[in-house]
Amino acid sequence: MRTFDLTINLNLDCFPYLITWFTNLDTRKPQGMLDYVTPILNQMLDETVILKHCHLLAISTFENPESYAGNHTWVFQITNPDEIEDNDSLKEHITQDLKQIFPFDPEASMIAPNIFFDGNYFTVIVPYTC
């Protein structure tokens, strides 16, 4: 069973100066995103059932440098919709695991992460401030 999509979409919607940063990759590497994503993925694999029932489709980052705030949006697709359709306890288990992975962190943001389930997808919006 596949737990990550063959290509995980990493999107960064931002203002022009960040686009310049990303087009100058010969001197700057987007290491910060890897530093953020890698421990989370490792924790999911080691400590939760999330990736047994879902696979990661996309991680998007939206940032407003004027307010030094933004959010990371993680999208997971259910691998077997029939398994979860009428199984409220499994939905709740996955939701609790997502809350464990993406806890409220007042040092990162004064807004708690939001977790949504919509049909075949779990979406997690993680706000942050710099």
CB 55 within 8 A of CB 76: yes
Q: What is the pLDDT of residue 63?
A: 78
Q: How far is CA 41 from CA 9, 23, 38, 48, 98, in A?
A: 14, 26, 5, 10, 11
CB 91 within 8 A of CB 113: no
Single-letter code of the amino acid located at 6: L
What average pLDDT does this structure show over 111-129? 92
What average pLDDT does this structure show over 21-31? 46
pTM confidence score: 0.77
pLDDT over threshold 60, residue 60 = yes
> CA neighbours within 13 Å on the CB side: how many for 79?
15
